[in-house]
Amino acid sequence: MARQLHLNLFLMPRGHHESAWRHPAAVDRKLTDLELYAGAARIAEEAKFDAVFLADALVAQNNGGLVASGALEPIALLSALAALTQRIGLIGTASTTYSLPYTLARQFATLDHLSKGRAGWNIVTSWAPQAGSNYGREADVGHGERYAIAEDFVQAVEKLWRSFPAEAVLDDRAGGRYFDPALVQPIHHNGRHWQTRGPLNVPGSPQGRPVFIQAGQSEDGRAFAARWAEAIFTAHLAKETARAFYADIKGRAAALGRSAEDIVILPGLSAAIGSTQAEADRVWEELDALTSPEIGLARLAARFGGHDFSAVPLDRPLTRDDFPDPSAVDASKSRATSYVDVALREGLTLRQLLQRLAGARGHFTIAGTPEKIADVIQDWFTDGAADGFNIMPPVLYSQFELFAQEVVPILQKRGLFRADYTGTTLREHFGLAPVAASGVLPMTA
C-alpha cells in the first residue's frame, strides 16, 4: 500500500489565531461548552482524520484579558468526547514535571478503555514561567532538568502500564476468580525523581498502552523523542527546517534500533482558505486587524523567559541584538531559536513578527485556494519534510469546514489520504506496530 498522509485536528476554542474569538465567522459557543469541541471532533471524524489533539497550559494567560482563555482540562474533555465519537483518535497533553506517574497512568489507561483504544499521551515538560508556583514549587524547573524528570516519569508510567496486564483479568464467575494475582505485580520504580510501588489498579488497555506523542525540538527534546515518541508534533516556519528536523529524528531513531515507520512526524499547518487567493488573504487580514501588539509582546516575552521587548521599535527590521541569546533561554528554547531565525532571515519588523506568530505561534501559515493548500501538503509529504500535519484552523468552525470539505477530497483523489478508516485504534490510524498486551517496548524490555 502506498504511503498515506496523517492528519490531526489541533483543536483550539474558536480557532488558532489569537483574535479568532472575536471573528464574526467563529463558532458562537462558550469555551466551556462541550458541544464546541464535539462539533469540531465530528467534522474531523467525518473527514477521517487520525486524531483530535488538545494542548494544555498550567498557568493562567497574562494577556490583559484581550485573548480568549479558560479552556477545559484535556483528559476530562477527551473522556467526554470518547462517548460522542466512534473512530477518531483522542490525544491529550499532560506534564511530566507537574503530574504524578501513578495518577497519569490511571487517567490515560482509563481513556484508552473508554475510547476502545483511541488514546494518545502528548508528553510535555511544561516550559511556562510561573508554572512551578502553581504546584507548590519555589522555582520553575530548568530546561535540562525537566527532560531528566521526563525520562524518569515515562519509565515509571510505562512500567505501571505493564504491571496489570489485560490477560490477568479472568472474570470467572463460576470459579469465583476475577483476576490472576500472579500476573499483577508491583514495579518498585525507584528513580531519581519519581518513586512508585505499583501495580496499577487499571488493567491493560486496548492498545497495550496509549500512543506516545512528543513535541520537543531542542537537543534534549530530540533525544527524548528519538527514544520514546511514536508521533511528533513539530513547529516549522519553512519546509527546509522541517526537512532537516525530519531527517535528524529518523536518523536518531535508527541509531537506537528503531525503524523510520516507528515515528510519525507531523508539523503544524494553519491554512486560511478561500475560493480565490484574495479571499484567502482577507482571512488573515481580518484576523490581524482584530489583534493588538501588546498581546503579541506578552506571548513573545513568555517564549523568551520573560524578556521585555517593549523598547524595541515596532516598524524597523529586527536585529540579533533585539533578542536575548536563545541558547540561554530556559523556557521554550527551540521555539525561541526559530523566532530569531525567521525574523533575521526574512528581515521582519517586530510588528510583522508578532502578526506572524499571532496566527499559529511559530507553526507554518499559508493562505490560498484548496488546490494550493493541497499542493503544499503534498510537497512537504513527498519531499521528506512530513508524514502528515497537525491542522490548526485559524477560525473554527468555518475554516476547518473548508479544509475538511474542500482540501481533504483533493488529497483523497490524489491517493494521499484515506477515504475511510481501516482500523479502530489510534495506533492503527498512525500505522504503528502493535504493542503487546503487557505494553513492553522493544527498547526498554
**Taking the domains of the chain in order of start, what are their residue ranges?**
6-271+364-429
Interval 262-311: pLDDT, tens: 999 999 999 999 999 999 999 999 998 898 787 778 778 877 878 889 88
| Residue 143 annotated in ligand binding | yes
Q: Quote the pLDDT of residue 63.
A: 64
Q: Quote the pLDDT of residue 133.
A: 85
| Residue 339 annotated in ligand binding | no
Query: The pTM is what?
Result: 0.90
Distance CA 333, CA 339 (A): 10
Distances (CA, A) of 299 to 65, 184, 304, 442: 13, 47, 9, 40
Comparing 116-125, 253-262, 342-351, 385-394, the range with the smallest average pLDDT is 342-351
| Residue 16 annotated in ligand binding | no
On average, the pLDDT of the chain sits at: 91
Interval 180-224: pLDDT, tens: 999 999 999 999 999 999 999 999 999 999 999 999 788 999 999
| Residue 422 annotated in ligand binding | no
Interval 136-146: pLDDT, tens: 876 667 777 89
| Residue 147 annotated in ligand binding | yes
Q: Quote the pLDDT of residue 47.
A: 98
3-state secondary structure the chain: CCCCCEEEEECCCCCCCCCHHHCCCECCCCCCCHHHHHHHHHHHHHCCCCEEEECCCCCCCCCCCCCCCCCCCHHHHHHHHHCCCCCCEEEEEEECCCCCHHHHHHHHHHHHHHCCCCEEEEEECCCCCCHHHHCCCCCCCCHHHHHHHHHHHHHHHHHHHHHCCHHHEEEECCCCEEECHHHCCCCCEECCCCEECCCCCCCCCCCCCCEEEECCCCHHHHHHHHHHCCEEEECCCCHHHHHHHHHHHHHHHHHCCCCHHHCEEEEEEEEEECCCHHHHHHHHHHHHHCCCHHHHHHHHHHHCCCCCCCCCCCCCECCHHHCCCHHHCCCCHHHHHHHHHHHHHHCCEHHHHHHHHHHHCCCEEEEECHHHHHHHHHHHHHCCCCCEEEECCCCCEHHHHHHHHHHHHHHHHCCCCCCCCCCCCHHHHCCCCCCCCCCCCCCCC
Range 6-271+364-429 classified under CATH 3.40.50.2020: no
Q: What is the mean pLDDT of residues 55-70?
A: 76
Q: Quote the pLDDT of residue 139.
A: 63
